[in-house]
Structure 1
C-alpha cells in the first residue's frame, strides 16, 4: 500500500495470477455447491470475517481458499463484475 498526495491509500496488486484466483474460486464454489451449501453466502461470510470455517474442507476447498489473500479475492471479484 502507498499513500498518494491527497492522503488516499492505494492498493497495488500483482495482476498476474488472476487465473490462479479464478481457478481456486471455481473449485471452492463447486465443492460448496456439491455439499449443499449456498456458495455465495459462504464465500461472502469468509471474505467478510476471515473465518475459514465458512468454507468446507470437502475436496480440500478450505486449504485452497486460504492460498489466496482475501484482498486478492475481492479485487478479482470486483474486476470480473465491473469489467464485463
Structure 2
C-alpha cells in the first residue's frame, strides 16, 4: 500500500457526489482507522520477527507507513468540522 493507493481509495466514487467534501472527509477517517490497525499489526509482527531479513522487510513497511502518515496529516488539516 502506498499514498497513491490511499488517494485512489479516498477519491474513488466520491467525486460525483454533491456533498463530495463531507464524503471525502468520512473516507479519510475510515482510512485513518485502517492505518491505525495496520500499524498495530506491523508493530506486533516486528516484535515477533526472528531474523534480520524479516525485521528489515518490516522496517521497510514501517517507513512506507510513515510516508502514508505524513500524507494523512496533510489531508486531515483540510477536513471540514
TM norm. shorter chain > 0.5 = no
Larger of the two Rg values belongs to structure: 2
User: TM-score per shorter chain, which class?
Assistant: 0.3 to 0.5
* Larger strand proportion of the pair: 1
Higher relative contact order (CA 8 A, sep 6+): 2
